[in-house]
Amino acid sequence: MAPHVVNDQGLNRPGLVGAGQDIERESFRIIDSEVGDHGFPRDQWPIVRRVIHTTGDFDFTRWMRIHPRAIREGCVALRAGRPIFADTRMVQVGLSPWRLNWFGNEVVTPVSRPESQKWAEEQGTTRSVAAFRHCSKQLDGSLIAIGNAPTALAEVCRMIRDEGLRPALVVGVPVGFVQAEESKDQLWSMDLQPSITVLGRKGGSAIAVAILHALFELANQERQ
């Protein structure tokens, strides 16, 4: 069964009350009225809409890609309290604490560990790659959110392809001009791996956060 669609009408959420709720609802209404025929299924549209809300950029309707099982697998993992592994603290601090408290999800940033620089020097690679390699045994069944480091996304793709890594969902949206587009193409080419990405150069940690927030809302709506 497809996840229930969040309509964001009349929600009483901590951290978003009163005028803030009114502004968000009106923003969503404007987006819905202006976007036209976007072609996304009903369960996927809340993800794209929140990204547009975050960026003010309707181009994301052209470049976002959402695997058919991404919403379901992501919501199941969130409700099970699975951890979110992020490439930067920008993702970690951007996630609403009250949403994280809904299901008790921990946000882990492997690159923040002091040892990550030593691992990178020993392996002759970037800190992001070394950090994700080091915690690879913890990634099965988790959510992975990469908004800044294309090398980390490429490494996650390699581990999925070559080592049988099976995260519940990969949100891979690194921004930039070097390896960003290629790493997202790799992710989207993996037919069996549930993923959400943005093709091309656009992306960033704020996009990863927006996608996760939308998933939290969908997951919370399902249990009500």
Sorted by sequence, the CB contacts under 8 Å of residue 180 that are 6+ apart come out as 150, 174, 201, 203
Sign of CA dihedral 7, 214, 70, 33: positive
pLDDT score recorded for residue 216: 98
**Residue range 57-101, pLDDT digits in tens:** 999 999 999 999 999 999 999 999 999 999 999 999 999 999 999
Residue 152 pLDDT > 80:
yes
Is residue 13's pLDDT more than 60? no
- Report the 10 Å Cβ neighbour count for 51: 27
Q: Is 53 noted as a catalytic residue in this protein?
A: yes
Q: Looking at domain 63-223, which CATH architecture does it have?
A: 3-Layer(aba) Sandwich (3.40)
Residue 40 has pLDDT above 80, yes or no: yes
- Give the HSE-up count for residue 29: Cα atoms under 13 Å, Cβ half-sphere: 7
Question: Which residue in the list 53, 67, 134, 213 is annotated as catalytic?
Answer: 53
Q: What is the pLDDT of residues 194-216, one digit of tens each?
A: 999 999 999 999 999 999 999 99
- The pLDDT of residue 18: 63
User: Do the beta carbons of residue 134 and residue 76 sit within 8 Å?
Assistant: no
Q: What percent of the chain has pLDDT over 90?
A: 74
Domain coordinates in residue numbering, the chain: 63-223
Determine the Cα–Cα distance for residues 134 and 107; give it in Å rounded to an integer.
Answer: 16
The pTM (predicted TM-score) of the whole model is 0.89
Q: Indicate whether 6 pLDDT > 60.
A: no
Cα distances from 77 to residues 72, 106, 144, 182, 198, in angstroms, run 9, 12, 11, 27, 21
pLDDT per residue over 109-149, tens digit each? 998 888 878 878 888 888 889 999 989 999 999 999 999 99
Query: Residue written as tokens 């009349």?
Result: 10
